[in-house]
């Protein structure tokens, strides 16, 4: 019954295409206007220095997608604590030395017409993932429950340590502002620390941060409130959630809708709707084209908050239909933009939309 229900919800919701906004129409959040509704999804590059600073790889990688016409680029999971890195080659915003190399990227992206955000993250029990949790610092989690059988047991965070986690996110947001980012996205998906607190599969606490959903979302809401207090009123804040855990007893779509309503009340502007990552699924996830757009559509409809759809969105007509049908407000593209950095320029041509090209490339426009 569980798998049947989840698989049915994973199918893209089909709406009648109405005369609504399209992929290349601008979209405003607070004081920021995106030139189109194509967002580069945060994807770890594992190319930072050992102390978490951005390198020339990041400059070229993100700069190329700005030249390629993406409306908003969200930088990869960027750790708010050293012990919260997914790997030892992850970006960080836990030290002031991280600001300058990120500001260099921000300035170049802005110069080429794109907006840019950063995803603030803490890996929790999935820290040091390439080595299955073995790293220079012990991984921490809501409960002493490992990600998988062959991973080490993380240390359970004490209640009096949680304000420090909240403050780490707030300090990282402060540094993101100094670097010039337009958007911050809080990573509460894919099995990392804030998702671990949300899911009953990983959160077995008996204190005010565990138990029912309201308690399990407490840390996330505290982080959102603290970041919103640091982040200027005119700049938007996104949150990435895993809509379902793809496992019995895990987060449900109904839970995600309730969490999204609470996030909206705390000042979040968009929910970036993904799924999974908390546990190893017992069965393959049905990753058909657009397999997560149905989740995004339900969150948008029931929680009344803007959403981003992500997952196997690859074709221009498909991406445009997601927007025009009201399933999502933006589309997040990941692997497709790795394959094809100039996908937005090709998509505009395929959809018959005129967009600006870099003047250096105009000879290739026709």
Classify the phi-psi angles of 286: left when phi > 0, otherwise alpha if psi is within -120 to 50, otherwise beta.
beta
* 3-state helix/strand/coil string of 118-137: EEEECCHHHCCHHHCCCCCC
Helices (H), ranges, the chain: 2-10, 56-67, 99-111, 162-179, 193-198, 213-216, 218-230, 253-265, 293-303, 316-324, 335-339, 343-351
C-alpha to C-alpha distance for 11 and 2, rounded to whole angstroms: 15
What is the sign of the dihedral through the CA atoms of 271, 272, 274 and 279? negative
> Looking at residue 92, what DSSP letter applies?
B
Choose, from 62, 94, 192, 209, the residue flagged as catalytic: 192
What's 327's DSSP letter?
S
Q: Mapping DSSP to helix (H, G, I), strand (E, B) and coil, where does residue 245 land?
A: coil
Sign of the CA dihedral 30, 34, 39, 44? negative
- Residues 287/311, Cβ–Cβ less than 8 Å: yes
> Quick one: tokens of 287?
């990753």
d(CA 337, CA 308): 16
Token pair listed for 122:
């803490």
Buried b (16+ CB within 10 A) or exposed e, 51-79: ebbbeeebbebbbebbbbbbbbbbbbbbb
Indicate if 192 belongs to the active site.
Answer: yes
Query: Which active-site residues does the annotation give?
Result: 192
């Amino acid at each position: 019954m569980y798998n049947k229900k989840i698989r049915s919800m994973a199918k893209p919701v089909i709406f009648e295409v109405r005369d609504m906004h399209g992929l290349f129409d601008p979209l405003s959040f607070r004081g920021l206007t995106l030139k189109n509704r194509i967002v580069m999804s945060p994807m770890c590059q594992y190319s930072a220095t050992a102390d978490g600073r951005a390198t020339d790889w990041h400059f070229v990688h993100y700069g190329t997608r700005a030249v390629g016409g993406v409306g908003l680029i969200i930088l990869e999971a960027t750790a708010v604590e050293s012990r919260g890195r997914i790997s030892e080659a992850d970006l960080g915003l836990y030290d002031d030395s991280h600001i300058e190399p990120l500001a260099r990227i921000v300035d170049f992206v802005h110069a080429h017409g794109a907006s840019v955000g950063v995803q603030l993250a803490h890996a929790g029990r999935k820290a040091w993932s390439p080595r299955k949790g073995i790293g220079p610092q012990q991984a921490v989690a809501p409960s002493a429950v490992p990600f998988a059988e062959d991973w080490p047991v993380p240390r359970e965070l004490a209640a009096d340590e949680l304000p420090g986690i909240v403050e780490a996110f707030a300090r990282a947001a402060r540094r993101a502002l100094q670097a010039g980012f337009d958007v911050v996205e809080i990573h509460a998906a894919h099995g990392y620390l804030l998702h671990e607190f949300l899911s009953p599969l990983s959160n077995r606490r008996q204190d005010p941060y565990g138990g029912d959903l309201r308690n399990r979302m407490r840390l996330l809401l505290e982080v959102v409130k603290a970041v919103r207090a640091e982040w200027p009123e005119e700049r938007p804040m996104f949150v990435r959630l895993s809509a379902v855990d793809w496992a019995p007893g895990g987060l449900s779509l109904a839970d995600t809708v309730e969490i999204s309503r609470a996030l909206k009340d705390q000042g979040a502007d968009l929910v970036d709707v993904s799924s999974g990552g908390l546990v190893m699924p017992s069965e393959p996830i049905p990753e058909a084209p657009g397999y997560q757009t149905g989740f995004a559509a339900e969150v948008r409809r029931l929680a009344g908050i803007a959403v981003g759809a992500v997952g196997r969105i690859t074709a221009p007509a498909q991406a445009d239909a997601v927007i025009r049908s009201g399933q999502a407000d933006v589309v997040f593209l990941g692997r497709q933009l790795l394959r094809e950095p100039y996908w937005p320029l090709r998509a505009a041509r395929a959809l018959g939309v005129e967009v600006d090209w870099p003047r250096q490339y105009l000879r290739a426009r026709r």
